[in-house]
Amino acid sequence: MAVRVTIEARNKDAAEVVAGHLGSKDRPKSLRGLAVIRVVATDVTEATTIADTVSRLLEKHHDLGWVRVRYEDETRVFRSTGRRTA
């Protein structure tokens, strides 16, 4: 069963980086001041994999600020620390 995944970022530039790493063909859209990427996953396992990918992405890209991933009843928010680790 398909699962809708909504990914929100603080701005369109951050959303472009996330979309690029996810391989999303859809361009982020602005909605209520946020940048939104909508993805359809094949199941909950794939939606979880998307959330995990976003989490790892924020570990590397410290300038993204925060990204929220929502699917089904789950909401996960990832924040970058703004610090680089070696």
pLDDT at 64: 84
pLDDT for 18 beyond 70:
yes
Mean pLDDT, residues 7-30: 85
CA angle, 14 then 78 then 4, to 5°: 80
Mean pLDDT, residues 63-79: 92
Tens digit of each residue's pLDDT (9 = 90 or more) over 22-37 = 887 777 888 777 899 9
SS3 35: strand
Tens digit of each residue's pLDDT (9 = 90 or more) over 56-69 = 998 887 788 899 99
**Terminal C-alpha separation, the chain:** 41
pLDDT at 82: 63
On whether the CB atoms of residues 14 and 65 are closer than 8 A, the answer is yes
CATH of 3-79, one of 3.30.70, 3.30.60, 3.30.499, 3.40.50: 3.30.70
